[in-house]
Structure 1
Amino acid sequence: MPSKVLLVEDSTSLSILYKQYVKDEPYDLFHVETGKEAISFIERNVPQLVILDLKLPDMSGEDILDWIVDNDIPTSVIIATAHGSVDVAVNLLQKGAKDFLEKPIKADRLKTSIALHLKQAKLESLVEDIESKIDRPRFHGFIGSSLPMQSVYKVIDSVAPTNASVFIVGESGTGKEVCAEAIHKESQRKDKPFIAINCGAIPKDLMESEIFGHIKGAFTGATTDRKGAASLADGGTLFLDELCEMDLDMQKKLLRFLQTGTFTPLGGSKELKVDARIICATNRDPLVEVEEGRFREDLYYRVHVIPIDMPPLRERGNDIATLALHFLKQYAKEDRKKFAGINKDVESVLKKYQWPGNVRQLQNIIRNIVVLNDATKMSIEHLPAQITSGKKPSSPVVKPKPAVEHIVQQETIITPVELSEETTSIPSHSSGAKAPIRPMWQIERETIQNAIDFCDGNVLNAAVLLELSPSTVYRKKQAWESEDERDPA
Structure 2
Amino acid sequence: MIKKILIADDEKNMIWAMKKALKNEDYKIITAANGIEAVEKAKDQEIDLVLLDLRMPKKDGMKALREIKAFNENIPVMMITAHGTMESAIEAMKIGALDYISKPFDIEELKMQIRKALEIGNMKEQIEFLTKKLKDKTGKVIIGNSLRMKEVLDVVNRVAKSTATILITGESGTGKELIANAIHYNSDRKNKPYIKVNCGAIAESLLESELFGHEKGAFTGAVSRKPGRFERADGGTLFLDEVGELSLATQVKLLRVLQEKEIERVGGTEVIKVDVRVVAATNRDLKKMVEEGTFREDLYYRLNVIPIELPSLRERKEDIPVLIDYFIQKFCREMGRSLISICEDALERMVQYSWKGNIRELENVVERLIILSQGNVIHREDLPKEILLQNEDPSEFILPKEGIDLEEVEKNLIQQALKKTDYNQTKAANLLGITRHTLIYRMEKYNIKGD
Find the residue that maps to 1:435 and give its secondary structure: helix
2:341 alignment counterpart: 341
**Aligned match for 1:435, one of 431, 435, 441:** 431
Partner amino acid, structure 1, of 2:431: A
Quote how far apart the aligned CAs of 1:312 are. Answer: 0.4
The question of whether the paired residues in 1 share the 8 Å contact of 2:209 and 2:228 is answered with yes
Cα distance 1:147–1:434, how it changes in 2: closer, same or farther (>3 A)? Answer: same
Cα distance 1:118–1:433, how it changes in 2: closer, same or farther (>3 A)? Answer: closer
Quote how far apart the aligned CAs of 1:298 are. Answer: 0.8
2:355 alignment counterpart: 355
Cα distance 1:123–1:341, how it changes in 2: closer, same or farther (>3 A)? Answer: closer
Q: Distance in 2 between matches of 1:353 and 1:120?
A: 30
The question of whether the paired residues in 1 share the 8 Å contact of 2:69 and 2:75 is answered with no
Quote how far apart the aligned CAs of 1:229 are. Answer: 1.0
Identity %: 41
Q: Deviations over 1:262-290 (max 9, x none)?
A: 00111222111111101111111111000
Paired residues, number: 291
Find the residue that maps to 1:240 and give its secondary structure: strand
1:46-445 map, 5 Å: 121=67, 124-126=70-72, 128-130=74-76, 133-135=122-124, 139=131, 140=134, 141-390=141-390, 427-428=420-421, 430=424, 431=426, 432-435=428-431
Q: Distance in 2 between matches of 1:325 and 1:119?
A: 23
Cα distance 1:339–1:132, how it changes in 2: closer, same or farther (>3 A)? Answer: farther
Q: Deviations over 1:319-351 (max 9, x none)?
A: 111111111111111111223322211221111
2:411 alignment counterpart: none
Find the residue that maps to 1:145 and give its secondary structure: coil
Cα distance 1:245–1:333, how it changes in 2: closer, same or farther (>3 A)? Answer: same
Q: Distance in 1 between matches of 2:122 and 2:365?
A: 32
Q: Which deviates further from its counterpart, 124-133 or 200-209?
A: 124-133
The question of whether the paired residues in 2 share the 8 Å contact of 1:199 and 1:246 is answered with yes
Q: Deviations over 1:239-269 (max 9, x none)?
A: 1111111010010000001101100111222
Partner amino acid, structure 1, of 2:67: A
Cα distance 1:119–1:296, how it changes in 2: closer, same or farther (>3 A)? Answer: closer
Q: Which runs of 5+ in 1 are unaligned?
A: 1-47, 49-111, 392-425, 438-489
Find the residue that maps to 1:301 and give its secondary structure: helix
Q: Distance in 2 between matches of 1:193 and 1:310?
A: 25
Find the residue that maps to 2:168 and give its secondary structure: strand
Cα distance 1:123–1:313, how it changes in 2: closer, same or farther (>3 A)? Answer: closer
Quote how far apart the aligned CAs of 1:158 are. Answer: 1.6
Find the residue that maps to 2:239 and give its secondary structure: strand
Partner amino acid, structure 1, of 2:308: I
Q: Distance in 2 between matches of 1:256 and 1:118?
A: 60
Q: Distance in 1 between matches of 2:324 and 2:345?
A: 13
Q: Deviations over 1:337-386 (max 9, x none)?
A: 22332221122111111111111111111111222224322222321101
Q: Distance in 2 between matches of 1:376 and 1:330?
A: 15
2:13 alignment counterpart: none
The question of whether the paired residues in 2 share the 8 Å contact of 1:345 and 1:380 is answered with yes
Q: Distance in 1 between matches of 2:219 and 2:280?
A: 28
Partner amino acid, structure 2, of 1:302: R
Quote how far apart the aligned CAs of 1:435 are. Answer: 1.6
Quote how far apart the aligned CAs of 1:119 are. Answer: 10
The question of whether the paired residues in 2 share the 8 Å contact of 1:169 and 1:308 is answered with yes
Cα distance 1:383–1:268, how it changes in 2: closer, same or farther (>3 A)? Answer: same
Quote how far apart the aligned CAs of 1:232 are. Answer: 1.3
Q: Distance in 1 between matches of 2:121 and 2:324?
A: 21
Partner amino acid, structure 1, of 2:208: E
Partner amino acid, structure 1, of 2:321: A
Q: Distance in 1 between matches of 2:122 and 2:314?
A: 25
1:52 alignment counterpart: none
Cα distance 1:119–1:217, how it changes in 2: closer, same or farther (>3 A)? Answer: closer
Q: Which runs of 5+ in 2 are unaligned?
A: 1-42, 44-57, 77-119, 135-140, 392-418, 434-451
Partner amino acid, structure 2, of 1:272: I
The question of whether the paired residues in 2 share the 8 Å contact of 1:194 and 1:236 is answered with yes
Quote how far apart the aligned CAs of 1:125 are. Answer: 2.7
Partner amino acid, structure 1, of 2:170: G
Partner amino acid, structure 1, of 2:245: E
The question of whether the paired residues in 2 share the 8 Å contact of 1:337 and 1:374 is answered with no
Q: Deviations over 1:118-169 (max 9, x none)?
A: 9973575345344775445783431111111011011111211111111111
The question of whether the paired residues in 2 share the 8 Å contact of 1:238 and 1:277 is answered with yes
Find the residue that maps to 2:290 and give its secondary structure: helix
The question of whether the paired residues in 2 share the 8 Å contact of 1:337 and 1:375 is answered with no
Quote how far apart the aligned CAs of 1:176 are. Answer: 0.8
Find the residue that maps to 2:317 and give its secondary structure: coil
TM-align CA RMSD? 2.6
Cα distance 1:371–1:224, how it changes in 2: closer, same or farther (>3 A)? Answer: farther
The question of whether the paired residues in 2 share the 8 Å contact of 1:339 and 1:378 is answered with no
The question of whether the paired residues in 1 share the 8 Å contact of 2:231 and 2:274 is answered with yes
Cα distance 1:272–1:146, how it changes in 2: closer, same or farther (>3 A)? Answer: same
Find the residue that maps to 1:318 and give its secondary structure: helix
Quote how far apart the aligned CAs of 1:224 are. Answer: 2.2
Find the residue that maps to 2:431 and give its secondary structure: coil
Partner amino acid, structure 2, of 1:188: D
Partner amino acid, structure 2, of 1:216: K
Cα distance 1:257–1:436, how it changes in 2: closer, same or farther (>3 A)? Answer: same
